[in-house]
C-alpha cells in the first residue's frame, strides 16, 4: 500500500495546480452561461480526483490538518454541486436530499469532531489555528445542510436559496484548494497566514456577493 503514496501525491499535486487555475473561470464568467457550466464541470472533476488522491494519502499517512482540509473541501464541492439538483425541494419531493447526501454530510461532521478532539487533546502536531478553522467550517456547512435536509421548505428557504448555497460552497471549495497551494508554495508568507488568507478572502467575498445578488433580485421584484 505504501507504494501508492508517491503516485497519489503526484496526482494530487497535478490536479490541485490545475484546479487553482481552472477554478478562476467559473468565478469570472457569467453565471449560467455555457462557459460557466463547462468550466465549473472541469473544476469539479479536477477537485474530485485531487480529493480522492488526498483521502488515499490520508489513509496511508494520517495528518489532522490535511484530514480537516480534505473533509471541508469534499463537503463544499459535493454539496455545492448537488444543490444544483435541489433547487426547489419545497415543490418537488424528488429534489430533496437523498440517503447519499445525508451519509456524506454526517461523515464529514463526524470527521470534523474527531479531528477537533485530537487537536484539543494535544494528540496532533498539525498547525492548530488553520485546522480548527477548517473544522469550524465543516461544522457550519454540515449543520446548515442537515437543517436544510430535515426542513427543506422552512426558514430561511427562498426560491433563490440554491443560488446562494452554490456560490458559497463552491467558493469555499476553491478557497480550500488555494489554501493548500499557498501553504505549500507561497512559503514567503508567514504561518499560519499562508494557509488562512484564502479563507479570510473568500468567505467575506461570498457573503458580499450573496448580499449583492439578494438586493438586486429584491429590486427586480419590486419593479415587476
Specify the 3-state DSSP secondary structure of 52: helix
Mean pLDDT of the chain: 87
**pLDDT attached to residue 223:** 58
Identify which of 18, 10, 127, 2 has the alpha carbon closest to the alpha carbon of residue 69. Answer: 127
Q: Residue range 195-216: average pLDDT?
A: 80
Identify which of 206, 174, 209, 213 has the alpha carbon closest to the alpha carbon of residue 24. Answer: 174
Cell 507561497 belongs to 186
Tell me the C-alpha distance between 23 and 43, whole Å.
6
Q: With 80 as the cut, is the pLDDT of residue 217 above it?
A: no
Set of cell numbers at residue 191: 504561518
Beta-carbon contacts of 35 under 8 Å, excluding residues fewer than 6 positions away, are 25, 29
Q: HSE, CB side, 13 Å, CA atoms: give it for residue 109.
A: 14
Within 10 angstroms of residue 194's Cβ, the number of other Cβ atoms is: 20
**pLDDT attached to residue 79:** 95
| Span 97-146, pLDDT tens digits | 999 999 999 999 999 999 999 888 887 777 777 788 888 888 999 999 99
**pLDDT attached to residue 201:** 82
Q: Residue range 52-71: average pLDDT?
A: 90
Cβ proximity of 79 and 145 under 8 Å? yes
**pLDDT attached to residue 3:** 82
Q: Residue range 146-172: average pLDDT?
A: 90
Domain boundaries, the chain: 1-61, 62-223
Set of cell numbers at residue 77: 464541492
Q: With 80 as the cut, is the pLDDT of residue 4 above it?
A: yes
Give this prediction's pTM: 0.85
Overall size of the chain counted in residues: 224
Q: With 90 as the cut, is the pLDDT of residue 84 above it?
A: yes
49 band by pLDDT with thresholds 50, 70 and 90 = very high
Least confident of 7-21, 54-68, 133-147, 199-213: 199-213
Q: With 70 as the cut, is the pLDDT of residue 22 above it?
A: yes
Which range of 89-93, 140-144, 177-181, 196-200 scores highest in mean pLDDT? It is: 140-144
Amino acid at each position: 500500500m505504501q507504494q501508492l503514496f508517491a503516485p497519489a501525491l503526484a496526482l494530487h499535486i497535478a490536479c490541485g495546480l490545475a484546479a487553482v487555475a481552472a477554478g478562476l473561470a467559473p468565478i469570472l464568467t457569467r453565471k449560467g452561461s455555457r462557459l460557466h457550466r463547462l468550466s465549473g464541470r472541469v473544476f469539479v472533476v479536477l477537485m474530485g480526483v485531487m480529493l480522492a488522491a488526498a483521502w488515499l494519502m490520508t489513509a496511508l499517512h494520517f495528518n489532522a490538518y490535511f484530514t480537516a482540509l480534505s473533509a471541508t473541501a469534499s463537503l463544499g464541492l459535493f454539496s455545492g454541486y448537488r444543490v444544483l439538483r435541489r433547487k426547489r425541494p419545497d415543490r418537488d419531493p424528488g429534489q430533496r436530499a437523498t440517503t447519499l447526501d445525508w451519509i456524506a454530510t454526517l461523515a464529514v461532521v463526524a470527521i470534523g469532531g474527531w479531528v477537533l478532539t485530537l487537536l484539543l487533546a494535544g494528540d496532533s502536531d498539525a498547525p492548530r489555528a488553520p485546522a480548527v478553522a477548517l473544522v469550524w467550517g465543516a461544522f457550519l456547512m454540515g449543520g446548515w445542510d442537515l437543517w436544510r435536509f430535515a426542513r427543506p421548505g422552512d426558514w430561511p428557504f427562498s426560491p433563490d436559496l440554491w443560488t446562494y448555497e452554490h456560490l458559497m460552497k463552491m467558493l469555499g471549495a476553491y478557497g480550500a484548494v488555494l489554501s493548500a497551494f499557498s501553504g505549500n508554495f507561497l512559503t514567503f508568507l508567514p504561518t499560519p497566514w499562508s494557509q488562512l488568507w484564502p479563507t479570510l478572502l473568500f468567505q467575506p467575498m461570498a457573503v458580499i456577493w450573496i448580499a449583492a445578488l439578494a438586493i438586486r433580485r429584491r429590486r427586480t421584484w419590486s419593479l415587476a
